[in-house]
Structure 1
């Protein structure tokens, strides 16, 4: 009997050493979660439990329990590296099946899909068009497109200027953008047509002979648009005409783009003091843009940034949690699969209830404490040696009995 008991102790110590060695081997594996061997005693015959002199039948391995404690967060230079601070798992698609991981070391494949090192695709909730919401009931592969961001033609130019109240009419009565004596002040900005081509739009302000009267001329690429619009300022310095301070502009580009119809908004312009100032000059519209980077906020919202200054929301990182994470099935490569013991995946998003936040440009390190593992390894070694000594003692006793015969 003692041989069998000691042998069960040796097997248990061996299992403990295997678990510890696996933890140590993965001390630097991103997103790895250490395991702990848990043991329990057992009796060969349950009836012996009622006897005061009954002895146990040895030890057995009850389970290898995974420890989902938080690993240290390490900063990286890759914006697609994501670290979870708190509860939850990334949701990945592996050949049609959903798996879960804490390893946020993501990159893109040849088709632009965001994938793990083993090719599993990161899942996101797609954005709902026209809103700031996401379709949390739908999972989709996250794909970064290299297609350019389409241009948008300028439709509005907000120009808030201050014109000097003491200005006098120019010496040359006929306006010309090439004649500095035919206008009082000027400023320029860039506008765009439907093909994304940039055009220089200049505003020329000509003081009138009557106090508070001005004329604004708009010149695009050297050619005047229209014939000028009269501006009138009241005694308080506020613009009183045209109504609402709006001026309609229209021109046809020579590059084949659609005609540009825009509104020049001068409603915030004033006539104060003796200094010309441009307080705001903001046209809408933009040129074609190329993908320049990706940003991920703490709630997992992913946005593509383009060289034209625009951003496009691609989706929100889909996360999952479980009633019993220790019941998940380990698949290797720091991934797990749902089981009956773990319960069904509970979907969610970073920052929501029961879910941690995300940090872009960072990775979660293994939660293995090497010092603790080394101490546990020494204890397992001592247990192995002690049980081996029991077998050696039993052998000596058997030898003694044989010699008595």
Structure 2
């Protein structure tokens, strides 16, 4: 039995090292959120058996949870580099026909030649419609639309676009060569009842699941959405020093379980070789 108990410890330590290694590998990934492996003990006995005479049977992996804590910030020269100070996520949409909606903390956005603003994976950043006072008029995914930079001013198509600004509340304003301003909408954001339930799909993007609950759609500065910083990127929330210490602990745990298996093997071999 000690073989299987120590084997479960080996597997657990290996999983722990894999999770920590992934965190370290993504220390420089924009918007990455570190994960942590959680373990529980295995204990089994019959209803009539005294638990005072039963040893544990090892450990098992309960789950790998993501830590949605704030990452550090890096100043950028690009207006469309956006960072969130709060719990919100940017909403992006994929290409037709699927038009898959995902959520991200990676705010490295850039325009295509046709003016469509996309993230590093090619998905389109979504905006929410606003009225003349800048208030959001539709807080649903159906009401959100693609962020597209206009070619010219509404009153004079020959007046070229010279600047785009994104306020703390996500209000996007385009300024043209003739001095005219045009409000394009507010950056669409989402929060979830259980952020840890989101399904990671890579590149600091997540999908909603039954465990995460339905998204709450709104603009920045509302509830837990937080604020938006233009010209800033959020780095990963990985602390290299902490991860290295945890990696050493996981490695020692692996070695200790390996030694336990070696000891059980030696004991078994001694019993087999016993002569009467």
Q: TM-score, normalised by structure 2?
A: 0.93
Give yes or no for the alignment of 1:150 onto 2:155.
Answer: yes
Instruction: Indicate the residue corresponding to 1:253 in structure 2.
Output: none
Task: Kindly report which structure 2 residues correspond to 1:1-400, keeping only aligned pairs within 5 A, or say none.
Answer: 1-45=1-45, 47=47, 50-95=50-95, 96-128=99-131, 130-137=132-139, 138-151=143-156, 288-400=158-270
Shift of 1:149: 4.5
Structure 2: gaps of 5 or more residues: none
CA distance in structure 2 between the partners assigned to 1:50 and 1:290 by the alignment: 82
Shift of 1:47: 4.0
User: Which shifted more, 287-296 or 53-62?
Assistant: 287-296
Q: Is the 8 A contact 1:81 1:363 kept in 2?
A: yes
Structure 1: gaps of 5 or more residues: 152-286
- Write 1 or 2 for the structure with the bigger share of helix: 2
SS in 2 for 1:387: helix
User: Which shifted more, 112-121 or 47-56?
Assistant: 47-56
Work out which of the two has the higher radius of gyration on C-alpha atoms and give 1 or 2. 1
CA distance in structure 1 between the partners assigned to 2:48 and 2:56 by the alignment: 9
Q: Is the 8 A contact 2:152 2:158 kept in 1?
A: no
Q: Is the 8 A contact 2:152 2:176 kept in 1?
A: no
Q: Is the 8 A contact 2:152 2:159 kept in 1?
A: no
CA distance in structure 1 between the partners assigned to 2:38 and 2:72 by the alignment: 25
SS in 2 for 1:354: helix
- Deviation per CA, 1:25-80: give whole Å up to 9, x if none: 00000000000011000124464874212111110110101000000111100000
Q: Is the 8 A contact 1:38 1:65 kept in 2?
A: yes
CA distance in structure 1 between the partners assigned to 2:90 and 2:26 by the alignment: 20
Q: Is the 8 A contact 1:149 1:306 kept in 2?
A: no
CA distance in structure 2 between the partners assigned to 1:40 and 1:340 by the alignment: 24
Q: Is the 8 A contact 2:45 2:51 kept in 1?
A: no
SS in 2 for 1:395: helix
- The change in CA–CA distance for 1:22 and 1:46 in structure 2 (over 3 A counts) is farther
CA distance in structure 2 between the partners assigned to 1:14 and 1:62 by the alignment: 14
CA distance in structure 2 between the partners assigned to 1:49 and 1:315 by the alignment: 67
CA distance in structure 2 between the partners assigned to 1:65 and 1:101 by the alignment: 17
Q: Is the 8 A contact 1:289 1:306 kept in 2?
A: yes
CA distance in structure 2 between the partners assigned to 1:46 and 1:333 by the alignment: 47
SS in 2 for 1:52: helix
- Deviation per CA, 1:281-314: give whole Å up to 9, x if none: xxxxxx9521012100000000111112221110
Shift of 1:353: 1.3
Q: Is the 8 A contact 2:5 2:58 kept in 1?
A: yes
Q: Is the 8 A contact 2:136 2:219 kept in 1?
A: no
CA distance in structure 2 between the partners assigned to 1:53 and 1:112 by the alignment: 71
Shift of 1:136: 2.4
CA distance in structure 2 between the partners assigned to 1:369 and 1:47 by the alignment: 46
